[in-house]
């Protein structure tokens, strides 16, 4: 895997001269994580992904998306959220691979090595994964975010022109495409939209319909096929919203496992341990109090409420007022319809939970819905948000209920996005 990634990332190619990457490993956070992993594995822990290692990696990569896209429109907010939803499975797959390496390092000649030696081995390998490789991944995430945002700003009827930096460091295969022009809807952009390699500096600018191309569409479309076909770059990040697609070795080695891991496989505590510490309580509300609460909230538009969640996503709590379909298809009225479950009694906690949950899980098995969990004294409140960032529903799981383990196990599954 390490050799394969060294070849794939090619941090300093013969023509581009390489990049200066941010130092992402020179801090104590990684060392503390490495020590914890060593202690866990030596004590017999069998989790597949270390939650702290995974979330630290995701945090680094999500941060660069936020740094390069400053959303002001709804479609831009959704773009940022979609790009981040690709980052978390990628980070989980990367952490999954690291854990496989660390387990193998624990034994020499049939004997388990000492703690200090094991920590050093993990740190040395971590230097490769979380400095050298993460730097390349960080750079790619940064430029992919810029280009995805740029794609969203072009209208569908525009002509686009491929543009290199124009200096002597441009890859020859990219230089051939300089000034190639085609409609945004042309199939060429599906596989040749920048970035087209690690450290690629190419971009796209508005073009003219009557521009005379030096290449035929067939010649242009096949130019990068040989070098990119089996890499994550044979992709248009603006269309797919995938910075790292399924061709990346992390995903290929892990298969689909990392998209549906349980809390146990992240090494997280069970309910008994969670409830060994005191939890907050909440006051139950009547239907009238819930409706008055809704009325008092600042509105995004119409009767809809918007909340910025713990991850920076702007979550809409939709109302059916003035909208097509049944009112109960929308969050506000849906809560009221579930009168037999008294969901209105805890619905005023929705903002608190989105802003300060205990756990957040992405569920790729259920259309990329996001689950927000908050542990209260009597049980757990779960909020489900659809991939378009609209809240769908919320409900209470009684911690003493007969099926609590099944219900909470179902919620604590997928790709971990946050834990307090």
pLDDT at 24: 54
Q: Where are the domains of the chain?
A: 1-258, 269-419
Q: Which of 195, 204, 173 is closest to 245 using CA atoms?
A: 195
- Residue 295 CA neighbour count, 13 Å, CB half: 6
How far apart are the C-alpha atoms of 164 and 344, rounded to whole Å? Answer: 57
Phi, psi of 346 (to 5 degrees): -125, 5
Digit-by-digit pLDDT tens for the chain (420 residues) are 777 887 777 644 454 444 444 555 555 689 999 999 999 999 999 999 999 999 999 999 999 999 999 988 899 999 999 999 999 999 999 999 999 999 999 999 889 999 999 999 999 998 899 988 998 899 999 999 999 999 999 999 999 999 999 998 899 999 999 999 999 999 999 999 999 998 899 999 999 999 999 999 999 999 999 989 988 899 999 999 999 999 999 998 887 889 999 999 999 999 999 999 999 999 999 999 999 999 999 999 999 999 999 999 999 999 999 999 999 999 999 999 988 899 999 999 999 999 999 999 999 999 999 999 999 999 999 999 999 999 999 999 999 888 888 899 999 999 999 999
Place of tokens 């990696």: 57
- The Cα–Cα gap between 20 and 410 comes to 43
Tell me if 131 sits within 8 A of 29, measured CB to CB: no
Contact of 54 with 208, CB cutoff 8 Å: no
Q: Identify the sign of the CA torsion 132, 138, 143, 148.
A: positive
In this structure, what are the phi and psi dihedrals at residue 362, rounded to the nearest 5 degrees? Answer: -90, 135
């Amino acid at each position: 895997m390490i050799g394969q990634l060294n070849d794939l990332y090619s941090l300093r190619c013969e023509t581009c001269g390489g990049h200066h990457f941010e130092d992402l490993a020179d801090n104590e956070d990684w060392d503390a994580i490495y020590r914890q992993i060593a202690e866990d594995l030596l004590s017999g822990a069998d989790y597949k992904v270390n939650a702290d290692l995974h979330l630290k990696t995701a945090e680094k990569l999500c941060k660069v998306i936020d740094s390069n896209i400053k959303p002001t429109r709804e479609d831009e907010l959704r773009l940022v959220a979609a790009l981040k939803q690709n980052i978390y499975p990628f980070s989980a797959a990367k952490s999954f691979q690291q854990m496989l390496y660390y387990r193998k390092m624990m034994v020499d000649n049939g004997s388990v090595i000492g703690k200090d030696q094991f920590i050093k081995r993990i740190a040395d390998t971590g230097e490769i994964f979380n400095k050298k490789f993460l730097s390349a991944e960080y750079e790619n995430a940064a430029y992919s975010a810029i280009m995805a945002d740029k794609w969203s700003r072009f209208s569908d009827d525009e002509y686009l022109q491929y543009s290199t930096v124009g200096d002597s460091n441009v890859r020859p295969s990219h230089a051939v495409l300089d000034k190639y022009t085609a409609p945004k809807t042309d199939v060429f952009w599906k596989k040749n939209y920048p970035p087209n390699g690690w450290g690629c500096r190419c971009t796209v600018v508005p073009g003219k319909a009557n521009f005379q191309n030096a290449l035929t569409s067939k010649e242009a479309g096949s130019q990068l096929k040989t070098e990119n076909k089996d890499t994550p770059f044979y992709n248009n990040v603006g269309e797919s919203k995938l910075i790292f697609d399924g061709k990346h070795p992390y995903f290929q080695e892990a298969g689909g496992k990392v998209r549906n891991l349980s809390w146990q496989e992240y090494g997280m505590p069970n309910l008994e341990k969670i409830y060994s510490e005191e939890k907050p309580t909440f006051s139950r509300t009547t239907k009238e109090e819930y409706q008055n609460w809704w009325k008092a909230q600042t509105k995004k538009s119409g009767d809809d409420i918007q909340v910025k969640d713990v991850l920076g996503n702007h979550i809409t709590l939709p109302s059916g007022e003035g909208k097509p379909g049944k009112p109960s298809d929308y969050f506000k009225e849906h809560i009221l319809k579930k009168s037999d479950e008294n969901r209105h009694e805890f619905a005023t906690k929705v903002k608190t939970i989105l802003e300060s949950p205990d756990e957040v899980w992405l569920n790729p098995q259920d259309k990329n819905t996001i689950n927000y969990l908050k542990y209260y004294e009597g049980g757990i409140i779960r909020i489900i948000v659809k991939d378009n960032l609209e809240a769908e529903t919320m409900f209470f799981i009684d911690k003493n209920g007969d099926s609590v383990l099944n219900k909470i196990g179902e919620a604590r599954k997928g790709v971990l996005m946050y834990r307090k």
